[in-house]
Every structure is written in C-alpha cells, then in structure tokens.
Amino acid sequence: MSEGDQKKTVLLVDDAPANIQIVNSILKDIYKIRIATSGAKALELANVTPLPDLILLDVMMPEMDGYEVCTQLKLNPATHDIPVIFLTGQTEVEDETRGFDVGAVDYIHKPFSPAVVKARVHTHLVLRGIREQLAQQLLTIQKELETARQIQLSILPSEIPKMEGLDIAARYVPMTSVAGDFYDFIVLDERHIGILVADVSGHGMPAALIASMLKIALSAEVAHVADPARVLLGLNQALCGKFQHHFVTAAYLYLNMEKQTLTYAGAGHPPLLLWGDSEGVRSVEENGLFLGKFSFATYTSVELPLRAADRILLYTDGIPETANPEGVEFGADCFKRFLERDQSVSADRFADSLIEEMLRWSERGLADMDDDITIVAIQVRK
C-alpha cells in the first residue's frame, strides 16, 4: 500500500483478549483497527464516523451473540452495507448457514491463519469497493436515463389539439424510462389535422433516439400533411441509412372535417380501427414496408367517409400483444370485443378504459408491462 493510500478501517469484535491480540497483530500494519469486546459496544462503534469498512465479528459472545449483532447491523440503513465476516471455532454446516442467513459474507475459522485472515479481509474489501463503484455507476445511469426521459417527453405533444367536430385523446405508457413509441399531430387549421403513431423496434435508449429522429423527420413533411402515403415516403427516406439494427412501424391518418373524410396509410403497422353506432369494428390496413430499412419502399393510402359518432383508434402493438399470466395475448378478437361493448362518452374516458382493460387482462401494473403502449383515440362528435 502506498503512503498516499488511505487505510481502511476494520472493526474487530471479540470478547476474548487473546483472539483480539492475534487478529490485531495480523492486521494492524495494514488497516486501522477498532476494537469492541461486546455486542453492544460493537453496535456503538459501527455507527461512529467514519464508519468501518469491514467488521470481523466473533460468533460466541455473552449477552448478545454475533448473530444478533449482525442482524441489528443489517437492519440499520447506515451499517447495512458493511461486510461482516464471522470469527468462529464452530465448523458445523448449520452454524455457518445461520450466519449467512443473518447477512454475513464469510467465515474465518479459529485458530487463525495470518495468511487466511489477510486474504479474506482483503478480498471482501475489494468486493465492497467494486459494489460501491457499480452502485455509483448505476446511479449515474439512472440520472442520465431520467434526463433522457424528460427530453423524450418534451418531444411529445404538450397538449391535445382542439379540433372542430372531433374529440381526441392520447395515452403514452413507456415500458422503461425511455421508449420507442412516438406520436405527434400536424394541425393545419381547426378542421384539418394529420396524426402519426410510430413504434421503433426494441426498447431503451437506442429506440428512444430513433423516436426522437421521427420528430424532426415529421416536421419536414408539413407540406404533405394531407397525403399520408407521401408523408410515410418522406419519413422512410429520412430514416434509411441512419441505423442498422432497428426499424420503425408507423401509421399516419389525415382527417378532413370539411369533407368529412379520413385518409390513412401504414408502414408495417397494426391496422387502424374504425367503428360507429351502426357498424361493427372495421380494420383498415393499407400497409407498405416498415420504415428505415428499404429505400425503395412505396406507400399507398385509402380514403374513407366519416360519419357522426364514428370512433377511430391508432395504437402500437403493445395493446394486442399484451399477455395474461398464462401467456395468452390480448389479440385482435378480444380487442374488437372490447371496442364493441365499450360505452365511453368521450375519447379520454375510452383511452382510460382501454388501459384499464390491459391491466385487467395482464394482471400487472403499468410498470410491469412487456411493451410500450401508445393510443390515439378519436371520436367524431354527433
């Protein structure tokens, strides 16, 4: 150890002066040694700043034995992470197992071997240092992910557009801090709007970065807002060559309330769902190749009439692919049955009901879902 290195502190706990003398003579030139001769004193010294880096704890002591001392140390948040090595003359498996159960990391058996004592103490101090380093790195990553999450949320619409004759709601439920789902609106005026829903393959930071690219790419398509096929073509051209191991599925919808029509195009995406008071649920599929992989891909769109009380749903595959505890996916049939029986009076209430149905089906919370979920629900006002 170089002179510049700070010595680690070891708390030595034993009621036998001979044992204290032996262990202290082995370690005193390498570490700072604190000595306690009882369990109560050990708990006191374990909380003295600076806290010990490691504790050598005798098992058999009067009044409070080593098992109880270790249990108390592990219950205290301040001392919970300090590694405890038991000093013992016992060799029974049951005794050692009990020690591990209460939180010890190792045993050193009596009579003490200087080489073993030094090796065990050094090993567990190194391991603790590695654990602390990993914990710090994890904390840094978590902070960076939270920053990324805030950035990603900032690229999503801050509010839902208010459109004449339309009630619109959106829900965005990421599987992780950052996600690959994306949605956005292009509002021409109060009667004309374009809506994009997209899903980047994979999860986490790479998918989130590609989703951020979609925001920029979509802004370049404002001139073609009324032409869904042209919008998807432009997005594909913007994304091709930018990444290798991912792709993007997307659905783009243009609503013209002046003409009472919808125009739709998809890129490898789950179908748009359309239903109303007098008609069952209709799947509208007008799919080209997914985005970002094939520069030669082309896209087509379909135009359909809109009627009062029609309901439209754009979504990502996290909805139909949500599985229950038996592994059965929600699927298209359950999805359609839910839509047909839903009586929500607003798009907001419908979006909430659909999320609640996903939770009921999966028997999990939102934080435990298998995939990102994005919903854009639209109701044509009567």
Closest to 269 in 3D by CA, of 200, 323, 211? 200
Q: What is the pLDDT of residue 117?
A: 96
Q: What is the pLDDT of residue 244?
A: 85
Which of 83-87, 147-151, 232-236, 241-245 comes out lowest in average pLDDT?
A: 147-151
* Torsions phi, psi for 179 (to 5 deg): -140, 175
Q: What is the pLDDT of residue 176?
A: 64
Q: Mapping DSSP to helix (H, G, I), strand (E, B) and coil, where does residue 242 land?
A: coil
Task: Please say if the pLDDT value at position 4 is more than 70.
Answer: no
Tokens of 25: 């003579």
pLDDT band at 1 (very low <50, low <70, confident <90, very high): very low
Most confident segment among 209-218, 265-274, 361-370: 265-274
Contacts from 21-28 at CB under 8 Å and sequence distance 24+?
22/112, 23/56, 23/87, 23/112, 23/117, 26/112, 26/114, 26/117, 26/118, 27/117, 27/118, 27/121
Q: In angstroms, rounded to a whole number, what is the distance separating the alpha carbons of residues 154 and 165?
A: 28
Tokens of 31: 């570490």
- Contact between 344 and 353 (Cβ < 8 Å): yes
Tokens of 37: 């001769």
Element (H, E) at 309: none
pLDDT band at 178 (very low <50, low <70, confident <90, very high): low
Q: What is the pLDDT of residue 80?
A: 95
Q: Give me the half-sphere count of Cα atoms (radius 13 Å) on the Cβ side of residue 371.
A: 20
151 vs 346, residue with greater confidence: 346
Strands 32-36 and 9-13: parallel
- C-alpha distances out from residue 61 to 38, 69, 111, 188, 344, Å: 7, 10, 17, 80, 69
User: How high is the mean pLDDT of the chain?
Assistant: 90
Element (H, E) at 355: helix 347-362
- Contact between 325 and 363 (Cβ < 8 Å): yes
Q: Give pLDDT tens digits for 40-80.
A: 999 999 999 999 999 999 999 998 999 999 999 999 999 99
Other CB atoms within 10 Å distance of the CB of residue 265: 25
Strands 261-267 and 287-288: parallel
Closest to 176 in 3D by CA, of 140, 155, 210, 152? 152
Tokens of 117: 């004592």
Q: Which residue matches tokens 């008609």? A: 279
pLDDT band at 194 (very low <50, low <70, confident <90, very high): very high
Q: What is the pLDDT of residue 290?
A: 94
Q: What is the pLDDT of residue 220?
A: 93
- Contact between 45 and 57 (Cβ < 8 Å): no
306 vs 205, residue with greater confidence: 306
Strands 54-58 and 84-88: parallel
Q: In angstroms, rounded to a whole number, what is the distance separating the alpha carbons of residues 132 and 110?
A: 30
Closest to 203 in 3D by CA, of 179, 177, 183, 173? 179
Q: What is the pLDDT of residue 180?
A: 77
Which of 5-14, 144-153, 165-174, 357-366 comes out lowest in average pLDDT?
A: 144-153
Mean pLDDT calculated for residue range 228-250: 94
Mean pLDDT calculated for residue range 87-97: 84
Interior CA angle at 136 toward 133 and 137, to 5°? 85
Tokens of 340: 């047909």
Task: Please say if the pLDDT value at position 147 is more than 50.
Answer: yes
